[in-house]
Amino acid sequence: MDISWLGALLAFVAGMVVAMVWYSKGAIADAWEAMTGITPEKNKPVRTRNLILLAVSNAATTIGLAFAVGLTSAATGNDSVWMAVTVGAVAWLTLSASTLLQHNSFEQKPLKLTTINTGYQLALFLAITLVLGLF
């Protein structure tokens, strides 16, 4: 099994860019803030901690997806970009989207919030696996 660590590093960067774009000022961030009550002012005291946690979790996601793409490629003999992106989509659906849907349903969070958060996770997984597939 081959993993390109340069590809993994660039995939991690791509994931961080997705987070920055997804939750930067605009329609998605404004809707998310309205539903969570988390404003930039409320976030200020814990911003550094949250950014560190984001980086750590995105690094773990990137490494996990790199291993998943590498194992799938080794098992199938297919190292195409499409295979990598398919691994990302399947991982998102089976691990991320299903988990968020369960938690948010039982916590009675709005469906729109679940859609925003799972949409982010889908964009994250696809961006990471796209970059991994290119390497």
C-alpha–C-alpha distance, residues 122 and 50, integer Å: 20
Mean per-residue pLDDT, 21-33: 88
Check pLDDT > 80 for residue 5.
Answer: yes
Write down the domain spans for the chain: 5-134
Cβ-proximal residues to 41 (8 Å cutoff; 6+ apart), any chain: none
With 0.75 as the threshold, say if the pTM is over it.
yes
Which of these ranges, 29-38, 54-63, 76-85, 108-117, has the smallest mean pLDDT? 29-38
List pLDDT tens digits, range 40-96: 888 888 989 999 999 999 999 999 999 999 999 999 999 999 999 999 999 999 999
DSSP string, the chain: ----HHHHHHHHHHHHHHHHHHTSTTHHHHHHHHHH---HHHHGGGHHHHHHHHHHHHHHHHHHHHHHHHHHHHHHS---HHHHHHHHHHHIIIIIIHHHHHHHHHTT--HHHHHHHHHHHHHHHHHHHHHHHH-
Cβ within 8 Å of residue 76, ≥6 positions away: 83
* pLDDT tens digits along 68-77: 999 999 999 9
Q: How far apart are CA 71 and CA 132, in angstroms?
A: 13
Residue 47: its pLDDT value, please?
87
Q: Is the pLDDT of residue 24 over 90?
A: no
Mean pLDDT, the chain, integer? 94
Which pLDDT belongs to residue 17?
A: 96
